[in-house]
Structure 1
């Protein structure tokens, strides 16, 4: 008989799974960016490289709540050029020129599977594949000599100085945090790795990051400027994750601990990139204080939602689903409920499940009740 935490974990996991990128679409995106990378190596120089970064590399993609529902896939375009020999604008223009040439080449060849468009944004070039349900954001970068071998310097048309990052180093760190779940480690140890690729095995940390991003996407649907960056949510969640295997309990515990990893460095809010200390994922909080306030409101709202769900322990599946649908995508929740209901029916038929007198479940309400967090920061400036 499932506890309330186990039941809510399965409902959340089943719902967020429907918003994840499918294996077919994942492979299609890989094929597309490998094609771009091969063309750039052939027509640019062999040293050019393209590789994924962000949620696509981390396995925490969530389908956007937009009319098109296109997945946003972030890529790094790396050129082995010293920063002294090129400007940000020149790098951005050089990569864009090659990407436009790739689009024209695909069109001349009569290939209907090429990008429909190539547009410049603040930092990237966006290759559109609307018929496939995603677009590729290609970020022009060069090596960062201060952080070898994977540190990068990237362009930003609104900032004069080169920006620092290290997506490969970050992904390695995130993977290590995911492996705190000993259940997953043991499962992989006994699995046939050829039959169960790493990408197909979602860890608890990956799933709970998806839950947090999903709720934030909906919470800020009408206020996108104040929505916390995905990398900020992911970093705080991974910092606070303690290896829980249960998704619901892990999500509540992470919410409880996230504030412990927000620093205040001499009056500036700071959440460092664990793979590059000079990169601050909370930098916008200093420029726009309302964004920190919005983060706190979102954090409090989600904490209340999860607390409310625990209090519905004997109300039945439909009541839980109704409350969950108020804060999450209703169709995704309902699909998860249908799958869970089918599982219960199968267990009842086989005699594996017995109903309690007071409802569907018994419960052990493990996990802390999440307090409201003001995110004051670990290192408070004594001057205030």
Structure 2
């Protein structure tokens, strides 16, 4: 698309969009940690090149992939304060004759002892665990000659011994990030609104560690599409808390977000459209008796669904989840139930801790309006109040879940 910056829609004005935006803000990688992540992966590259002889002059590119490359990183599955940062290490000619297991082992050995951090070799990457719960996943790759920029092969080897399953996997994360970013142009009102919200939060925590990180001005949520992607990733994380088996990979969700991108649309509208598209694609695959197949739009050999779904039943379960999410969002937009039901539904969808934090934060902002009795109700149960403080009603009986920990209502009060 290659669109220039557009105006977009402020996600903090419409009531339902506002609370969704606050949830996205609460789970996404903060600007300070984004800057710290950049500083850290640059330091890791310098360490490998300066202290490990095999890597000297052999790191051609060291760059973010996946969520980090499109500014869509959120907290880990089951947690609210841990973040995975994915990095590609494109290696030089010295590694071409090595097996996948040998390359992964070399990378592991090159990182062992780095600043005393825990180092774990995974099937396709090596992970560094920082004390503040950030995880840096470094994936080695070998460039495919005479192909588009950074088209490569990544290593797959479970270890600790060689196996017939060891292989090189086609990849072009760099091309995909460019494709996604081209389809999701900077929406001025989204970018400005989130910059202001992060500034407000920083001002509330003036003692936060912000002096030892690089300039943060390059980072910012830029589109409603990326916000919707973050929300659907969070929804997936919550649904898979107590499930076995692989969950839908973020790269698959990112592909569908890029495909459905509707620059200038409202957040809730975009989230519904994204969920609807995924359901449609899954149901089409299921009707054909096959699992979902998604390829990198910039490199067809890079198959995003190579490890998920593992079965038709697994993809159908996710489609069922998304149908419930869509139903709840549609009812929320129609404001068909009393506001007191909102926290129960949101906790079941996005998790108790995050929603409670959002409720508390919003309660502080709207509490005076509520106490002053300035709100009034529509005939269908919605609240008429200034846009900055309005609440929206949610009617989703099929997916309402009990309050799990906090007894706050949407307004921050304890129920009688």
TM range (shorter): 0.7 to 0.9
CA distance in structure 1 between the partners assigned to 2:27 and 2:322 by the alignment? 21
Q: 2:232 matched to which residue of 1?
A: 212
CA distance in structure 2 between the partners assigned to 1:59 and 1:291 by the alignment? 28
Is 2:119 the partner of 1:118?
Answer: yes
Q: Judging changes above 3 Å, is the alpha-carbon distance between structure 1 residues 80 and 71 closer, same or farther for their aligned structure 2 residues?
A: same
Cα offset for 1:303?
Answer: 1.8
CA distance in structure 2 between the partners assigned to 1:136 and 1:169 by the alignment? 21
Partner SS state of residue 294, structure 1:
helix
Q: 1:46 matched to which residue of 2?
A: 57
C-alpha offsets along residues 313-350 of structure 1, whole Å, 9 cap, x if unaligned? 4623x332332222222232233234444444677899
Q: CA RMSD in A?
A: 3.7
Cα offset for 1:125?
Answer: 1.0
Partner SS state of residue 179, structure 1:
coil
Cα offset for 1:252?
Answer: 0.8
Cα offset for 1:116?
Answer: 2.0
C-alpha offsets along residues 361-381 of structure 1, whole Å, 9 cap, x if unaligned? 399x9xxxxxxxxxxxxxxxx
Partner SS state of residue 270, structure 1:
coil
Q: Judging changes above 3 Å, is the alpha-carbon distance between structure 1 residues 286 and 344 closer, same or farther for their aligned structure 2 residues?
A: closer
Q: 1:177 matched to which residue of 2?
A: 183
Calculate the TM-score normalised by the size of structure 1: 0.77
Q: Which runs of 5+ in 1 are unaligned?
A: 107-113, 189-194, 366-384
C-alpha offsets along residues 92-115 of structure 1, whole Å, 9 cap, x if unaligned? 222222122xx2xx5xxxxxxx24
Instruction: Please tell me whether the aligned partners of residues 79 and 141 of structure 1 are also in contact (alpha carbons under 8 angstroms).
Output: yes
Q: Judging changes above 3 Å, is the alpha-carbon distance between structure 1 residues 357 and 151 closer, same or farther for their aligned structure 2 residues?
A: closer
Is 2:96 the partner of 1:90?
Answer: no
Instruction: Please tell me whether the aligned partners of residues 284 and 291 of structure 1 are also in contact (alpha carbons under 8 angstroms).
Output: no
CA distance in structure 2 between the partners assigned to 1:312 and 1:73 by the alignment? 38
Instruction: Please tell me whether the aligned partners of residues 84 and 135 of structure 2 are also in contact (alpha carbons under 8 angstroms).
Output: yes
Q: 1:376 matched to which residue of 2?
A: none
Calculate the TM-score normalised by the size of structure 2: 0.72
Q: Which runs of 5+ in 2 are unaligned?
A: 1-9, 159-164, 195-214, 393-416
Instruction: Please tell me whether the aligned partners of residues 125 and 140 of structure 2 are also in contact (alpha carbons under 8 angstroms).
Output: yes
Higher relative contact order, chain-length normalized (CA < 8 Å, sep 6+): 1
CA distance in structure 2 between the partners assigned to 1:13 and 1:3 by the alignment? 6
CA distance in structure 2 between the partners assigned to 1:91 and 1:234 by the alignment? 28
Cα offset for 1:201?
Answer: 3.4
CA distance in structure 2 between the partners assigned to 1:297 and 1:355 by the alignment? 36
Q: Judging changes above 3 Å, is the alpha-carbon distance between structure 1 residues 228 and 115 closer, same or farther for their aligned structure 2 residues?
A: farther
C-alpha offsets along residues 126-182 of structure 1, whole Å, 9 cap, x if unaligned? 1111x2221111111110226322111110015343101111111111111211857
